[in-house]
Amino acid sequence: MRLFFHWFPRYLLYATHSPCPLRSASKVLAVDVFQQHLKSYHVKDIEVKSVDDARGIIYGPNETVIPVKSFLTLLVLEVLNPFYIFQIGSLAVWFTEEYIYYAIAVIFMLIAGAGSSIIQTRRNQMQLRKTIYFSEIATVIRKEDGPERREICVDVLASSLVPGDLIAIPPNGCILPCDAVLLTGNVIVNECMLTGESVPVTKIPIHNDDRKFDESDETTRHSVLYSGTKVLQTRFHGEKWARAVVLRTGFLTSKGQITQSILYPPPVDFRFERDSYKFLGILAIISTAGLLYAVITKYYRGVGPKEIVLKGLVLFTIVIPPALPAAMTIGKLYAQKRLKEIGIFCINSRIINIAGTINCVCFDKDNPLEIGIARQFFFSSSLQRMSVITHALGSSNFNIYCKGSPEMLISLSKPNSVPSDITSVLASYTRKGFRVLALATKSLPTSMTGKEVEEMEREEVESDLNFLGLILFENKLKKATESVVANLRKANIRQVMVTGDNILTAIKVAEECGLVAPKQKVYRLEASPSEVTVLPHFDVGDHLKPTKKVSSISMPHINWARIGSVCDEHHMEGGIPESPPTYALTGQAWAVIRSCHPSVIPKVVKDGTIFSRMTPDQKQQLVIELKGIGLSVAMCGDGANDCAALKSADAGISLSDAESAAASAFTSSCGDVSCVPRVISEGRCALVTSFGIFKFMAGYSLTQFSSVMILYTIDSYLTDFEFLYIDLCLVTLVAALFGLTKPPDASKDLAPRPPSSNLFSFYPILSILLQVLVMVGFQVTAYLGVRLFPWYRPFDFGKQFSYFESPYACYENYAVFAISSFQYLWMAVAFSRGAPHRRWIWSNPRLMCSIAVLGLFCAFLAVLPTDGLAEFFEMAMPPSIKDRALVLPITLLNLILSLFLERVLIEHVLEPGLISRFCKKRRHSTILTDHGIIYSKDHETVHSLTRGRHKGNKG
């Protein structure tokens, strides 16, 4: 019962506590619901603390604590897993039955499996703590006690900061320990950890007026400093450092939210694992039925209670093989090793199988002058420009520099400073795919003071400029990008760009790398609380010209069919349809749609390709929404701003060994996206391998169960060394080598369909049942056939059979064992599926050699064993070698039938749907009428002829 409560702690809470108001509660039950069908329960204690430090208690310490469990704790948690409990029980049964050798082998497998899992878990926890944890000293500004209340600076541990504290930012820079709002001075920070952009950002003081603080406001955001970002430089007046007030601490900060998403990612609901548990439930039912049969038959035959109980428990260990978890892990471990050899490291082998189901991939894209910046006007999308007022060292005047869209800066510049051919030059650059900005300048009068500069209006600063020229930006793709995108597109894997970059840059890169097809229309979505607007996307150079709305739909009566038909008359060229239109939107539009029009999100997620200016939280939201519409999502990123999305994805792939590596299942050292098809290819191979091994282990357990049940009818049994030979030499060795079969070359085309992860479906179950029925049929044939020979002697339990000392030795035992020993090899061959996701079995020389050697030994053991070998296996050998040799053609026929059922019937007839298509074609192919044979495509003709005949009859 205690073990049950360990697995389901909420039931212990129900049993020992009753519901009550929060103020009198000692424990609380938190229920986390994900995507309406996945629930997780957390039982937490309620702590009561004194109120000596009210703010400290309310907000807690400014820490992001990463728990690292001891090896002993991890070992206990691992051993208390239901599978390990079952395996420990199985070991107890085997030792009681003196089935020692296989029990020892399973113990070694358990130690290896549990040890590797514990070491990997501990290593991941340590790596995450090393990445996230930091200890800083913060300078807090406080006032002395006394009448003067002078300000003093006090160095304190950053962990003691609470919201409301006033902190001073060191001039030489630091790592910000909290989220804060800048009050005085200017600060230059590197926000790469959050945004992925390595360009330093200047933060300015918050507006000093009566406006309400709104962090979502574009102006206010330029005054917020975020935890974990690096302060590069500060500027301040006089001797007082730049100051900021603490806004958020601990897990409430931006860095804390990323850390929390890593520690507590959305649950991964992998269908193959769910189905495997269901199938094990069915096997448990089968073993229970066998147990009841054995108990009843043995009871009526006078077998003792102890023997009945032991044999019944052995049946459970036969039908539900304890080695199944280890066998299921082998294929993933081989795939993990192959990935490591090509520079792709996986911290969780379980994710490799999940990577095999991926059908959607999200990609992230990505001598100083001694000039002091006296004032800065940030970029505004509505104004299409930004500007700075600089003061060069040693100079007595101020200079203005402005950059922005060419069209806007041309209109703000003096006409005589603009070249006459600027329009044609600009058009030539934009047609070549460059992103073009313009630069202009103006010098202020030498008589202007710093105070006058601070009081200038923006309109005055950005007027009468002198045009300087154009700045060209080119986003060159990495060598592997285009081929990878083309490969994934051929494999029908959806590809999405989710980036912190500008939307125009993102669209251009998407067009160049093939994420957007050559003639595919791209429409930009913009949103307000009342409507969603669809805008056409022009060439990059023309993006700042006035745009005309394609569609503006009031919410909530949005007509997506209308948006989907925004393809104009050029959508059909020469009768050939273009790719369906796709959408691009910014993080700002995403936030508005998600908060004001949540019902629209599934459509945006379904058809959108380019998501730009996305924050870390929004990237995670997109990944979760993609999973919500039924896609299996991989996220490929390279920065800490991708951590949340990497952790939430079904398979996170980091192209960096920095912060993102701690959050992703895969880390690639190649630095480009060529690792993506390799991960998917290995994942597909591992998933097919897991399917094959599961079917093999299920077939093995049911085949051995049938052997035991057949022999139970005469109170015989497989001997210990027969069991050992089957379990250790045949099954364990073959299962260990099964996963060595490699995937096809990932640089070539991936298969257009991923392998199924649905184990509990018609075809996998039919495959297992057909194989088991064939195996049982041949065993029954051997069991009954051996009785037809003249030398046959019936078995009488409790009496010695001829000169054999074994209590189970008999001719039926020989016949069943001789046939079944081949059957485990034949099932391995039948279930070792090849193309398109794995190479064929003959490409695995170790497995083929093992099957060949074991097959020859099985033949030798069945036909020509030495006396010592027959005595070792406790087999009652038929006297005639000629009669023993009949085992060989029988088992060869068994192999042919097994291969026919799996390779021909299942793989090439039933799964492709040939029978259903043939029946449908036959049903609709021809219709015989009075007017002759009419084919199915002419149904309207048939109806019209029939109506005409009826009218004629009436007339």
DSSP letter for each residue of 523-544 = EEEEE-SSEEEEEE---GGGTT
- pLDDT on residue 312: 78
SS3 readout for 855-922: HHHHHHHHHCCCHHHHHHHCCCCCCCHHHHCCHHHHHHHHHHHHHHHHHHHHHHHHCCCHHHHHHHHH
Give the pLDDT mean for 295-320: 79
Q: Tokens at residue 554, please?
A: 């009031």
- Residue 612's φ and ψ, nearest 5 degrees, are -110, 165
- DSSP 3-state assignment of 560? helix
- Residue 40's φ and ψ, nearest 5 degrees, are -130, 140
- pLDDT on residue 447: 82
393: pLDDT confidence band, cut at 50, 70 and 90?
low
Range with the lowest mean pLDDT among 36-40, 93-97, 564-568? 564-568
pLDDT at residue 109 tops 60: yes
CB 757 within 8 A of CB 272: yes
Report how far apart, in Å, the C-alpha atoms of 444 and of each of 33, 396, 465, 949 are: 61, 10, 11, 95
Bridging pattern class, strands 360-363 and 633-637: parallel
The closest alpha carbon to 691, from 333, 349, 332, belongs to 332
Q: Tokens at residue 766, please?
A: 């039919």
- pLDDT on residue 681: 92
More confident residue, 478 or 726: 726
- pLDDT on residue 267: 63
pLDDT at residue 51 tops 70: no
More confident residue, 535 or 166: 166
Report how far apart, in Å, the C-alpha atoms of 580 and of each of 519, 523, 606 are: 9, 11, 12
80: β partners: none
659: pLDDT confidence band, cut at 50, 70 and 90?
low
Q: For 143-157, what is each residue's pLDDT tens digit?
A: 877 777 788 888 888
Q: Tokens at residue 43, please?
A: 């039982």
More confident residue, 443 or 942: 443
CB neighbour list of residue 282: distance below 8 Å, 6 or more residues apart: none
Cα angle 60, 65, 71 (rounded to 5 degrees) comes to: 140
- pLDDT on residue 537: 63
Q: Tokens at residue 36, please?
A: 């309406």
- pLDDT on residue 307: 78
Q: For 222-238, what is each residue's pLDDT tens digit?
A: 888 988 888 888 877 76
pLDDT at residue 68 tops 90: no
- DSSP 3-state assignment of 668? strand
- pLDDT on residue 860: 95
CB 675 within 8 A of CB 344: yes
The closest alpha carbon to 635, from 668, 682, 596, belongs to 668
- pLDDT on residue 366: 54
Q: For 901-925, what is each residue's pLDDT tens digit?
A: 999 999 888 887 766 666 665 555 4
H or E element at residue 654: strand 651-654
- pLDDT on residue 326: 75
Query: How many other CB atoms sit within 10 Å of the CB of residue 557?
Result: 6
Largest CA distance in the chain: 125
Distance CA 932, CA 253 (A): 79
Q: Tokens at residue 148, please?
A: 């003067």
**Which residue type sits at 402?**
C
Q: Tokens at residue 950, please?
A: 């009826």
Distance CA 296, CA 6 (A): 35
Distance CA 361, CA 481 (A): 13
Exposure letters 10-45 (e unless 16+ CB within 10 A, then b): eeebeeeeeeeeeeeeeeeeeeeeeeeeeeeeeeee
- pLDDT on residue 857: 95
- Residue 173's φ and ψ, nearest 5 degrees, are 90, 165
Distance CA 904, CA 696 (A): 18
770: pLDDT confidence band, cut at 50, 70 and 90?
very high
CB 438 within 8 A of CB 410: yes
User: Residue 865, preceding bond cis, omega within 30 degrees?
Assistant: no
Give the pLDDT mean for 397-402: 90
Q: Judge whether 364 counts as a catalytic residue.
A: yes
Catalytic residue chosen out of the listed positions 165, 364, 501, 727: 364
Distance CA 563, CA 901 (A): 49
What is the Cβ-side half-sphere exposure of residue 628, based on CA atoms within 13 angstroms? 17
More confident residue, 675 or 307: 675
- pLDDT on residue 155: 86
Q: Tokens at residue 237, please?
A: 């007046």
Q: Tokens at residue 185, please?
A: 């001075």
User: SS3 breakdown of the chain: % helix, strand, coil, rounded to 5?
Assistant: 50, 20, 30
SS3 readout for 180-242: EEEEECEEEEECHHHHCCCCCEEECCCCCCCCCCCCCCHHHHCCEECCCCEEEEEECCCCCCE
- pLDDT on residue 916: 64
CB 222 within 8 A of CB 175: no
- pLDDT on residue 545: 39
Distance CA 619, CA 625 (A): 10
- pLDDT on residue 887: 94
524: pLDDT confidence band, cut at 50, 70 and 90?
confident
Cα angle 329, 330, 332 (rounded to 5 degrees) comes to: 70
More confident residue, 243 or 373: 243
- pLDDT on residue 574: 39
Distance CA 833, CA 443 (A): 75
Distance CA 511, CA 519 (A): 10
**Which residue type sits at 36?**
Q
Beta strand residue intervals within 347-506, DSSP E: 360-363, 371-380, 385-392, 399-404, 435-443, 466-473, 494-498
CB neighbour list of residue 38: distance below 8 Å, 6 or more residues apart: 267, 269
Residue ranges of alpha helices (H) inside 393-515 are: 406-412, 422-431, 450-454, 458-461, 481-490, 503-513
Range with the lowest mean pLDDT among 171-185, 427-441, 452-466, 611-625? 427-441
Distance CA 521, CA 536 (A): 8
Q: For 572-595, what is each residue's pLDDT tens digit?
A: 343 334 567 888 888 888 988 888
CB neighbour list of residue 148: distance below 8 Å, 6 or more residues apart: none
Q: What is the pTM (predicted TM-score) of this model?
A: 0.73
Range with the lowest mean pLDDT among 297-301, 313-317, 729-733, 796-800? 796-800
Give the pLDDT mean for 305-315: 80
Distance CA 854, CA 222 (A): 72
- The rounded mean pLDDT for the chain is 80
Residue ranges of alpha helices (H) inside 305-421 are: 305-319, 324-341, 350-355, 406-412
pLDDT at residue 424 tops 80: yes
- pLDDT on residue 80: 82
Distance CA 682, CA 331 (A): 10
Distance CA 738, CA 844 (A): 8
Bridging pattern class, strands 230-235 and 522-527: unpaired
Report how far apart, in Å, the C-alpha atoms of 811 and of each of 37, 642, 702, 858, 876 are: 55, 67, 22, 17, 6
The closest alpha carbon to 722, from 712, 731, 734, 714, belongs to 731
pLDDT at residue 717 tops 70: yes
Residue ranges of alpha helices (H) inside 29-164 are: 54-59, 71-79, 82-96, 100-132
CB neighbour list of residue 11: distance below 8 Å, 6 or more residues apart: 4, 5
The closest alpha carbon to 358, from 673, 674, 755, belongs to 755
Q: Tokens at residue 138, please?
A: 């913060």
More confident residue, 808 or 237: 808
Bridging pattern class, strands 360-363 and 494-498: parallel
More confident residue, 643 or 489: 489
CB 694 within 8 A of CB 683: no
- pLDDT on residue 363: 86
Q: What does the chain come to in residues? A: 955
